[in-house]
Structure 1
Amino acid sequence: MSDHAYIYINGYPGVGKLTIARELAKLIPNSRVFDSNLLINPVDAMCDRSAPYYDQLCKDLRMFLLGMLTDRCGDATTFIFTDARSTHGRYCNPAPIYFQAEASNKEEEVPFVSVVLECDLEENIERLISAERVLGYKKLTDCCALKEIREKEDIYHFDEDFELVLNVTHLSPKMAAKKILEHTVKVAQRFYEGEEEPTAT
């Protein structure tokens, strides 16, 4: 894929977003992965998650750093963002809309591709407690917490035709990355051919 894009990968904790994003980056020249935990971990170092100002600190840092990132890292870079945003509850914030707005606010607009990863609960739990994830930087590994999140919170959808909803229960990270790339190429081709891209509602 010669043209660049903003690829936003969203899904419940443990579905494999970061692993798949890294595989996707191998397929796209001049791409960078920006995992949501890069924003959460600095706040965790400053205060407990129970602090009343924790969520606001996460939001403020997210908006500041993403603004710096998209302004100064080059117009030829494809950014692959991972996130776990829901439509309500603690994991709800305006980040998805912000990513899309940043894409359209660039001096030369770039296509925005939304990807929602889905996974069966049993497989989600296995991935959540995998050795690779447990040994990584601070992530959710509490199975009960995951079940509660899945029961009470719905993953954010743009509900537009540029969004790919992909069930990765039985897909390897490489195969999932390939499917995301195929979808991204289609969206980018349509975008650069001059067809107006949908906006979030």
Structure 2
Amino acid sequence: MSAFILLNGFPGVGKLTIAKELAALLPDARVFSNHLLIDTAAALYNRDEAFYRPLRKELRRTILDSLASGLKGTSSNRIIIFTECQTINAEGSATMQEYLIASRKIGCQFFSLVLHCPTETNVERLTSRAASVSSTTKLVDPVILREILLGEPIYHYGSEADWELDVNVGSRTAKDLAQQLAADITLALVEKRRSRT
């Protein structure tokens, strides 16, 4: 049985690092970072240009449609781990629904992991990565991060997801978190397979 795992959290919380650690522990897992969409659109348009957001949306839709076509009805146990940073505003909610709808088309389990940490820890992580991400669109400005954190809350699926967990990543390493999450997700997948037989 295939599965979608979506890690949603604000910039600097460690989504991609945790996703990569998680992928190393789960069978046939692939990571798709939201920055693959952001960087592609930003290569062609500035963020404030009219075609930037529609391009990101169309790229995401194409990818999700491809997965829905490629995995639906197969015996694949492929696990796709996505990263996102979406809040409860209309655009964020619509974006998050796209992932859920694609998972339902495939008939796969949908795991939502909402990552967070204390503000000062978040700022420290963000500023410590500044040198390593200078050539990407990843946020490195702590002032902008603080503005984002004071804005709308991060999106939660609640009961719409098959499984949702709020994860405080503040004092744990990515490897430690990934090991615990992989164990929990594997158990949930095994239980789901048993219930289908």
TM-score past 0.5 threshold: yes
Task: Tell me if structure 1 keeps the 8 A contact 2:19–2:81.
Answer: yes
- Structure 2 equivalent of residue 88 of structure 1: 89
Residue 135 of structure 1: CA displacement?
A: 4.2
Instruction: Number of aligned residue pairs: give it.
Output: 190
Which residue matches 2:23? 25
Deviation at 1:7, TM superposition (A): 0.6
| Alignment-derived partner of residue 181 in structure 2 | 180
How far is the alpha carbon of 1:130 from its aligned partner?
A: 2.0
Give the secondary-structure state (helix, strand or coil) at the position aligned to 1:87. Answer: coil
Tell me if structure 1 keeps the 8 A contact 2:38–2:137. no
Q: In structure 2, which of residues 5, 8, 29 is the aligned counterpart of residue 7 of structure 1?
A: 5
User: Which has more helix, going by share of residues?
Assistant: 2
**Structure 1 unmatched runs, 5+:** 196-201
Matches within 5 A, 1:44-193: 44-72=42-70, 75-88=76-89, 92-106=92-106, 109-131=107-129, 133-135=132-134, 137-160=136-159, 162-193=163-194
Q: Secondary structure at the match of 2:195?
A: coil
How far the C-alpha of 1:176 sits from its partner, in A, is: 1.1
The aligned amino acid for 1:102 is A
How far apart, CA to CA, are the structure 2 residues paired with 1:114 and 1:183?
12
Cα root mean square deviation, aligned: 2.1
- Quickly say closer, same or farther: Cα 1:133–1:117, change in 2 above 3 A: farther
Specify which of 5, 11, 14 is matched with residue 16 of structure 1: 14
Q: Deviations over 1:77-130 (max 9, x none)?
A: 1101111111017x6252322222212212xx2211110001111111111122
Q: Offset at 1:163?
A: 0.2
**Counterpart of 2:87 in structure 1: which amino acid?**
S
**Greater shift after overlay, 41-50 or 97-106?**
97-106
C-alpha displacement of 1:156: 0.5
Q: Which amino acid aligns with 1:88?
A: N
Structure 1 residue ranges (4+ consecutive) displaced by more than 3 angstroms after TM superposition = none
- The share of aligned pairs that are identical, in percent, is 34
- Quick one: which amino acid aligns to residue 11 of structure 1? G
Aligned residue for 2:92, secondary structure, equals coil
In structure 1, what is the Cα distance between the partners aligned to 2:7 and 2:45?
A: 27
Shift of 1:12: 0.5
Per-residue Cα deviation, 1:46-100 (whole angstroms, up to 9, x for no partner): 11111133222211221112222443367331101111111017x6252322222
CA contact (8 A) 1:113 1:187 kept: no
